[in-house]
Amino acid sequence: MTTPQAAEQATPQPVVAVLGTGIIGAPVARNLAKGGFTVRAWNRTRAKADALAADGVHVADTPAEAVDGADVVLTVLNDGPRVLEAVRAAAPKLAAGTVWVQVSTVGEDIDEIGAYAAEAGLVLVDAPVLGTRQPAELGKLVVLAAGPESVRPTVQPLFDTIGSRTVWIADDGAKGAASRLKLVLNTWVIALTNGVGEALSLAKGLDVDPRHFVDVITGGPLDSGYFQGKSAAVLAEDFTPSFTVDNAEKDARLAAEAARRTGLRLDGVEAGRDRFARASAQGHGGEDMAAVYFASFDDADAADASAASDAEPKV
Ligand SMILES: NC(=O)c1ccc[n+]([C@@H]2O[C@H](COP(=O)([O-])OP(=O)(O)OC[C@H]3O[C@@H](n4cnc5c(N)ncnc54)[C@H](OP(=O)(O)O)[C@@H]3O)[C@@H](O)[C@H]2O)c1
């Protein structure tokens, strides 16, 4: 009879390098380490990676040091150019045939990433995720995956550790089918977030108690987890980032560019992108994207949603 120890020896867990330990990368690395994988992490701001050492993550000084000897490399950086920069820096230590799981939201930069993977002899799995800080911490991301059947037995256990669901879209990561699905999903996220922010700002402008707005929506067909989370953030003035305004601006820009390229007009996405950019210019770039609420106000003092929630109902 095979003992569990013997089975472990027979199928060793892959060594995983995680490049980027921000809001998503940090819990991904931590959950993989807790799940029994050997994890090496690199982050530009080393302190964020150092915080993972207590959970068994080995911290590397450079991308090359992180990927040296790794079977799988996960990139969780903010955008396509940053992903390529990190993987190019790691290239001297990347063995041909290494599996590259690209988790960041990169939009159609996936085409350049796919071309680089082919040039460097890496097996690309295009694997953007749906879910923010809390699902990432709970290992409940939804992984949108495209990659060859041959590497699925290697990467599926990783996806099962960081996510609650994997949706395999296609068998060629370089074609970017998963990244394109992610752009479609983000179009909906951008609409929801801006919709909540604009409705709450109008409530403020019209002196309508926002609690009535939230109350009427709650439990009805217009309700959603996003509505609850983002309206609560604005009313509590708690903009601890689950997903930053700056990354939301980037995602809206990627969706708008992809739409323009195909001859589509996504007016809402373009307006949303401009609102995220304005909120960032107001100093909210590192806050949660719920802070796009502030883009409705030229005068920062006029934006205090909590003051409105203390007011007597006017309706
Ligand atoms: N948060 C979410 O809800 C969510 C959900 C789905 C997908 N995503 C996507 O996942 C990716 C990571 O998101 P996140 O929320 O984890 O973002 P984040 O917290 O802003 O982390 C971004 C990561 O990129 C690194 N980075 C940024 N600029 C860099 C540069 N110039 N050179 C080197 N490294 C750089 C950061 O390093 P430093 O720590 O040094 O800044 C950090 O590791 C993004 O593509 C995002 O769109 C996020």
Question: Ligand 1, closest atom to CA 25?
Answer: 16
CATH number for domain 4-175, candidates 3.90.550.10, 3.30.70.20, 3.90.1660.10, 3.40.50.720: 3.40.50.720
DSSP reduced 3-state for 15: strand
At position 283, the amino acid (one-letter code) is G
Domain extents for the chain? 4-175, 181-310
Q: Which residues pair with 101 in a beta bridge?
A: 74, 125
Contact yes or no for 27/133 (Cβ under 8 A): yes
The closest residue, in CA terms, to atom 24 on ligand 1 is 77
- CA separation (Å) from 266 to 107, 172, 186, 190? 15, 28, 12, 11
Q: How far is the CA of 58 from the centre of ligand 1 (A)?
A: 19
At position 174, the amino acid (one-letter code) is A
Q: Is 243 in the pocket of ligand 1 (CB under 6 A)?
A: yes
Element of type H or E holding 16:
strand 15-19
Residue 12: the pLDDT is 73
Q: Is 231 in the pocket of ligand 1 (CB under 6 A)?
A: no
Contact yes or no for 111/138 (Cβ under 8 A): no
Question: Ligand 1, closest atom to CA 44?
Answer: 40
At position 82, the amino acid (one-letter code) is R
Q: Is 186 in the pocket of ligand 1 (CB under 6 A)?
A: no
Residue 3: the pLDDT is 46
Residue 143: the pLDDT is 98
Q: How far is it, in rounded angstroms, from Cα 183 to Cα 260? A: 13
Mutational pocket test of ligand 1: of 44, 59, 76, 78, the residue with most ligand atoms within 8 Å of the beta carbon: 78
DSSP state of 258: H
Contact yes or no for 270/253 (Cβ under 8 A): no
Contact yes or no for 25/93 (Cβ under 8 A): no
Q: How far is the CA of 208 from the centre of ligand 1 (A)?
A: 37
The first and second tokens of residue 4, run together, are 């569990």
The label of the residue with tokens 């909120």 reads 279
pLDDT, block means (10 residues), the chain with 315 residues: 45 90 98 97 98 98 97 98 98 97 97 98 98 97 98 97 98 96 98 98 98 98 97 98 98 98 97 98 98 92 61 35
Residue 299: the pLDDT is 76
Q: Is 77 in the pocket of ligand 1 (CB under 6 A)?
A: yes
Question: Ligand 1, closest atom to CA 106?
Answer: 45
The closest residue, in CA terms, to atom 4 on ligand 1 is 132
Q: Is 42 in the pocket of ligand 1 (CB under 6 A)?
A: no
The per-type count for the chain, helices as H runs and strands as E runs, is 14, 9
Residue 309: the pLDDT is 47
Q: Is 141 in the pocket of ligand 1 (CB under 6 A)?
A: no
Q: How far is it, in rounded angstroms, from Cα 296 to Cα 298? A: 7
CATH number for domain 181-310, candidates 3.40.50.720, 1.10.1040.10, 3.10.129.10, 2.40.160.20: 1.10.1040.10
CA nearest neighbour of 103 among 184, 49, 27, 48: 27
Q: How far is it, in rounded angstroms, from Cα 105 to Cα 289? A: 16
DSSP reduced 3-state for 242: coil
Q: Is 82 in the pocket of ligand 1 (CB under 6 A)?
A: yes
At position 268, the amino acid (one-letter code) is G
Per CATH, 4-175 and 181-310 having the same topology is answered no
